[in-house]
């Protein structure tokens, strides 16, 4: 959530940056300022009335001490009238504060000045590429055919048990999935990320804290009886570990990693782009999260991008890194880099990671702060990235490494899988 002080002190800049994100309701800025003016006015009235009540109450005590009971009784009536006036002011104030908060949560995060202009993925900026596209044998096929031929994944069985978008990994497919998860976690912990195993459901406060609510409510699976949400990413529970905490400046940055299944409704997804592992309702992902000092968060972002890049390089996959334009960014992000790997059998690029700096947007919702050298609480900056999402990585590993004899696994993965070839 944007800080109200930022919006008031830099109103024109806020309007300008929201326009970069192609935000359609920039008039909300004026509505928020108007409501904040009303809030200030009501707060002044409330405080002034409260001060009069306190001052008059003291007078009553003095008058009673002097035996001036008649004057004291008159003052008591004055206090009663003031208290009667106080209640409607409080009700108005509560109503205005709710309206103000309801409007504030509708504003997305402001994009960094590094964010390129644009409205669609076609406007994203290429940062760099790496790796080489493989030469496949003549009989090469897409991963869904490979998975069936080698008995690795059963899409029809998942459809029977649950529905489309819920594949069943089996035999060496399940083993490869487990090997990838362990490799990614070991890679992250070796870089100083503390591993967590968080819940796979969160309460509404946690989903609100990272910005899934109210923006992405329709994309999450909701257990209505208990008002819990199945997590769309480990970012949600992991970042909320420090909700409502005041950290020590010396402890920053805090680096965390976690493996979780992820659940997304993906409403409206259809066609060839959802075939096989391309888009699922349940998938596995290893996440990295950092809570950083505001002055160092963009250094942390570049470090995380390099970390993910080296992980993809270790898998031998051709990749490209994109800086997302304003129109293709998430609601909560200030700057995002997307990683895509090349799927040889499908002849297309598939997104496998997003690495983002949210600056203070999430921290303001979660009240994650640290005390600076003067002892003043300041909001941290939060960052997160996929390291990595498994389905499309698995799809590209299968497709790009297929040979006449089977799937030749990259050397980095062989010790985890316990073999060179599927």
Nearest 5°: the CA angle 371, 375, 380 is 20
SS3 330: coil
Q: How far apart are CA 388 and CA 265, in angstroms?
A: 20
By CB neighbour count within 10 A (0-12 exposed, 13-18 middle, 19+ buried), where does 282 fall?
middle
Show the tokens assigned to 344.
């040889």
- Within the chain, what is the greatest distance between any pair of CA atoms? 108
Question: Which residues fall in the annotated binding site for ATP?
Answer: 264-266, 351-354
| Number of neighbours of residue 361 by Cβ within 10 angstroms | 25
Nearest 5°: the CA angle 116, 215, 325 is 10
DSSP state of 136: -
SS3 31: helix
Q: How far apart are CA 127 and CA 416, in angstroms?
A: 31
Within 13 Å and on the Cβ side, how many CA atoms surround 50? Answer: 10
Nearest 5°: the CA angle 346, 348, 352 is 110
Q: How far apart are CA 45 and CA 50, in angstroms?
A: 8
Question: Which residues fall in the annotated binding site?
Answer: 233, 264-266, 287, 351-354, 384
Show the tokens assigned to 1.
């959530």
Residues 52, 99 contacting (CB under 8 angstroms): no
Our CA dihedral for 390, 391, 395, 398, rounded to 10 degrees, sits at 50
Question: Which residues fall in the annotated binding site for L-serine?
Answer: 233, 264, 287, 384
Residue 234: closest CA among 360, 386, 383: 386
Our CA dihedral for 249, 255, 260, 264, rounded to 10 degrees, sits at 70
Q: For the chain, state the CA radius of gyration.
A: 27
The angle, 0 to 180 degrees and rounded to 10, between the axes of the packed helices 171-190 and 297-314 is: 140
Alpha-carbon 259 to chain mean position = 15
């Amino acid at each position: 959530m944007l800080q109200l002080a930022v919006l008031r002190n830099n109103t024109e800049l806020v309007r300008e940056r929201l326009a970069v994100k192609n935000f359609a309701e920039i008039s909300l800025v004026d509505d928020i300022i108007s409501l904040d003016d009303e809030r200030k006015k009501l707060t002044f009235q409330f405080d002034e009335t409260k001060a009069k009540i306190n001052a008059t109450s003291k007078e009553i005590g003095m008058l009673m001490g002097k035996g001036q009971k008649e004057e004291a009784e008159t003052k008591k009536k004055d206090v009663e009238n003031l208290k009667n006036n106080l209640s409607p002011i409080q009700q108005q104030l509560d109503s205005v504060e709710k309206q103000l908060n309801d409007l504030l949560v509708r504003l997305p995060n402001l994009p960094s000045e590094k964010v390129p202009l644009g409205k669609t993925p076609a406007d994203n900026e290429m940062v760099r590429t790496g790796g080489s596209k493989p030469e496949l044998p003549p009989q090469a096929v897409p991963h869904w055919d490979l998975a069936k031929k080698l008995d690795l994944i059963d899409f029809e069985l998942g459809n029977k048990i649950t529905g489309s978008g819920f594949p069943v990994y089996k035999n060496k497919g399940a083993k490869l999935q487990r090997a990838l998860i362990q490799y990614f976690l070991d890679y992250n912990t070796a870089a100083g990320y503390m591993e967590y195993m968080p819940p796979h459901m969160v309460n509404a406060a946690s989903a609100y804290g990272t910005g899934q609510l109210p923006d992405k409510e329709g994309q999450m699976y909701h257990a209505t009886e208990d008002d819990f949400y199945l997590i769309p990413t480990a970012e949600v529970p992991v970042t909320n570990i420090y909700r409502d905490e005041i950290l020590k400046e010396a402890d920053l940055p805090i680096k965390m990693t976690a493996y979780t299944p992820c659940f997304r409704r993906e409403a409206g997804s259809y066609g060839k782009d959802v075939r096989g592992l391309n888009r699922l309702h349940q998938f596995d992902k290893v996440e990295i999260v950092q809570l950083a000092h505001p002055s160092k968060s963009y250094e942390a972002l570049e470090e995380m991008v390099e970390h993910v890049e080296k992980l993809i390089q270790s898998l031998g996959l051709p990749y490209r890194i994109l800086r997302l334009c304003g129109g293709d960014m998430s609601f909560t992000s200030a700057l995002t880099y997307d990683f895509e790997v090349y799927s040889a059998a499908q002849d297309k690029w598939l997104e496998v990671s997003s690495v983002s700096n949210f600056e203070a947007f999430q921290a303001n919702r979660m009240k994650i702060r640290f005390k600076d050298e003067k002892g003043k609480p300041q909001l941290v900056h939060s960052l997160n990235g996929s390291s990595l999402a498994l389905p499309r990585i698995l799809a590209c590993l299968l497709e790009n490494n297929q040979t006449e004899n089977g799937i030749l696994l990259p050397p980095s993965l062989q010790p985890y899988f316990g073999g060179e070839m599927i």
